[in-house]
Structure 1
Amino acid sequence: MTGQKSEYKNEEKVPKGEIPVYKLKKIEKAKKDELKWIWFGHSSSLLQIDGKNVLMDPVFSNYSSPVPFIGPKRFSKLPIDIENMPSIDVLAISHDHYDHLDSQTIKQIDEKVKEYCVPLGVEKHLLRWGVNEKKIHVMNWWDEVKVDGLTITSTPGRHFTGRVPWRNNTTLWSGYVFKNDKYTTYFTGDTGYGNHFEEVYEKFGAIDLLMIEDGQYDRAWSNIHMLPKDGIQAMKDLHAKWTVPVHWGAFCICNHAWDDPIKQITTRSQKENLNVATPKIGEIVDYSKIETYQEHWWENVE
């Protein structure tokens, strides 16, 4: 990504054993006053807030690449078949890299999606894949979209975009704040550390649930992907009440061990008295009892 050599060598980048996954036949709609979250691996997850289903960066394909059967292969199973997914009130895309925006997934799930939120320029991909432009909200940083009682705000970050090497940064990248009258949640998207976390806190206050990028990092790439120590500082900047780490557990696009992100964030957060939940893929996290989702399940993966 930067031309610099990686600091990691001979790491177990893909687990030899099978990652535990909760299999879901269907996903029930949450109540308006509930907050629930389901992780599908990597940065794909479903947030249930204000009675809405908000799907983020869904990649349900087996490969994260422009060509099927080539490139980073999924090493964990999906918890649910795409045809069994519920109706999606909002599908939010953080940026157009292949591990966050997958054409086959969009084409397969589009009929279930009511509205999309995407950064500037990303709408061109969706339109090319047959998505109705009336369903798409194109957002610059700090733009807002309201869906009934839910407010969605695009937030800045430090990253880059592009789906081919000769066309970088022709689209924008972003994170998202999803807020109603009871909860404030924040998905960072891919980002290096910066003062944008303090800006988010100044605008929205303490974050109830932080979905933080944690994985696919290297010191050589720290301007575009946070290192573990950066993630801890971001949690502090945001006054995060609870954090769930994403951007790991499905695809290897790095040189560190597959479980280094979760080991680092749990160890470091414990020292700093920060709350981190560690649900398995497919586990339905009920925010009202989020403190019960702290099993170190990765330690049992051989």
Structure 2
Amino acid sequence: MIKKVLKIIGIVILCIGVIALLFIKFWPSLGGNVNKEDEKNYKARNSLYKKGIFHGNPEIQLMTGQKNEYKNEETVPKGEIPVHQLKKIEKAKNDELKWIWFGHSSSLLQIEGKNVLMDPVFSDYASPVPFIGPKRFSKLPIDIENMPMIDVLALSHDHYDHLDYQTIKQIDKKVKVYCVPLGVEKHLLRWGIDENKIHVMNWWDEVKIDGLTITSTPGRHFTGRVPWRNNTTLWSGYVFKNDKYTTYFTGDTGYGNHFEEVYEKFGAIDLLMIEDGQYDRAWSNIHMLPKAGIQAMKDLHAKWTVPVHWGAFCICNHAWDDPIKQITTRSQKENLNVATPKIGEIVDYSHIETYQEHWWKNVE
């Protein structure tokens, strides 16, 4: 009897293992794999790529060893977050600078007459499976079908709250080119994206499109779409610059001297799109705490800052509105300019000072 039970258990375990292996091999959302030829290429381009892994500069530990700071917070609002609904997005003029936030880190920058889409996640879940994981708690301001043509789609890294399979598949027909860190192209290629559309960038690489220069910038983070393939792809931020404006999207990052490096190379930042959310002292090496974010704003001599990485998905334990409360309170004390538009509002940089409503105070 015992042998029969053990045999049944063994068969069940084997079946589960086979199903898991098939899922890993064939589920497209998990992304692509780096091969030996790719490894040679990455090693030649990036001195921090060793034995198939990208390393930080300096090397950092993901976890600080400190206890979690937040417990029993209201991570998802009870009430509805106000969203400005858009039927369409008009093309901006070459000398204009506009910005639209879609929640979390997804946003559209209009600069040099071009539409630059960053880290678009338009799905309901930030997850490889469309019914498990962090669920969106704010509405999108626009459907993908109504999005304008995208001149550049820039991806900071391959975590699910920044790179979404369904979104990429649906929006690709509108995208002219992609800018991605080393290794992230493997995911796009597996999903059928034309390799001729993809610029694969190392830190400080530049891509020039007419009067717009796009520069990949370093950060302190990590990558991976499955636990056993962490850091096989690179992470980055981006500077988008033309003759009139210098803008900077930090991507996910801990605080470091890379902010001073960006300032030294590009000067004062006109519009800073800063990571602000999903933090805890337990992992502050890879996600800035509010105090560190303020210091980054100072390092960059940011003229105006808009906070991202909050307002849509909860992947930590702090209250959903803690990021915006902290950055507005701290920036006011330091005389730093922070704009706080609602999701979907079209922020015109020429009068960005008018987008400072504390709308979150009216959300239950």
Provide TM-score, normalisation by structure 2. Answer: 0.82
Q: Which runs of 4+ in 1 moved over 4 A?
A: 1-4
Cα distance in 2, alignment partners of residues 51 and 259 from structure 1? 33
- Structure 2 CA distance for partners of 1:131 and 1:253, relative to 1, 3 Å: same
Contact 2:67/2:281 (<8 A) preserved: no
Cα distance in 1, alignment partners of residues 65 and 101 from structure 2? 32
Long gaps (5+) in structure 2: 1-62
Write the deviation string for residues 187-219 of structure 1: whole angstroms up to 9, x where unpaired: 000000000000000000000000000000000
**Which structure has the larger Rg over C-alpha atoms?**
2
TM-superposed deviation, 1:4:
5.4
Contact 2:321/2:360 (<8 A) preserved: yes
Cα distance in 1, alignment partners of residues 305 and 66 from structure 2? 31
- Structure 2 CA distance for partners of 1:278 and 1:90, relative to 1, 3 Å: same
Cα distance in 2, alignment partners of residues 12 and 113 from structure 1? 37
Contact 2:123/2:166 (<8 A) preserved: yes
Cα distance in 2, alignment partners of residues 208 and 7 from structure 1? 33
Contact 2:66/2:281 (<8 A) preserved: no
Contact 2:110/2:116 (<8 A) preserved: yes
2:279 counterpart residue number: 217
Cα distance in 2, alignment partners of residues 10 and 135 from structure 1? 45
Identity value in percent:
93
What's the RMSD between the two structures over aligned residues?
0.8
Cα distance in 1, alignment partners of residues 118 and 68 from structure 2? 29
Cα distance in 2, alignment partners of residues 114 and 184 from structure 1? 22
Contact 2:134/2:315 (<8 A) preserved: yes
TM-superposed deviation, 1:7:
1.1
State the SS of the aligned residue for 2:227: coil
Write the deviation string for residues 237-292 of structure 1: whole angstroms up to 9, x where unpaired: 00000000000000000000000000000000000000000000000000000000
- Structure 2 CA distance for partners of 1:138 and 1:283, relative to 1, 3 Å: same
Cα distance in 2, alignment partners of residues 129 and 4 from structure 1? 39
TM-superposed deviation, 1:3:
7.0
State the SS of the aligned residue for 1:243: strand
Cα distance in 2, alignment partners of residues 197 and 204 from structure 1? 11
State the SS of the aligned residue for 2:108: strand
Cα distance in 2, alignment partners of residues 247 and 5 from structure 1? 22
Contact 2:88/2:148 (<8 A) preserved: yes
Cα distance in 2, alignment partners of residues 42 and 279 from structure 1? 13
Cα distance in 1, alignment partners of residues 303 and 283 from structure 2? 28
Cα distance in 1, alignment partners of residues 263 and 355 from structure 2? 25
State the SS of the aligned residue for 1:154: strand
Cα distance in 2, alignment partners of residues 2 and 41 from structure 1? 28
Contact 2:103/2:309 (<8 A) preserved: yes
State the SS of the aligned residue for 2:199: strand
- Structure 2 CA distance for partners of 1:101 and 1:181, relative to 1, 3 Å: same
Contact 2:64/2:281 (<8 A) preserved: no
Cα distance in 1, alignment partners of residues 130 and 167 from structure 2? 12
- Out of 227, 230, 248, the position equivalent to 1:165 is 227
Long gaps (5+) in structure 1: none
State the SS of the aligned residue for 1:41: coil
Cα distance in 2, alignment partners of residues 185 and 7 from structure 1? 32
Cα distance in 1, alignment partners of residues 118 and 295 from structure 2? 23
Cα distance in 2, alignment partners of residues 226 and 77 from structure 1? 26
TM-superposed deviation, 1:6:
1.4
TM-superposed deviation, 1:2:
6.3
Contact 2:64/2:285 (<8 A) preserved: no
Cα distance in 2, alignment partners of residues 72 and 3 from structure 1? 24
State the SS of the aligned residue for 1:262: helix
Structure with the higher fraction of residues in helix conformation: 2
TM-superposed deviation, 1:5:
3.7
Cα distance in 1, alignment partners of residues 157 and 143 from structure 2? 24
Cα distance in 1, alignment partners of residues 281 and 332 from structure 2? 23
Write the deviation string for residues 34-68 of structure 1: whole angstroms up to 9, x where unpaired: 00000000000000000000000000000001111
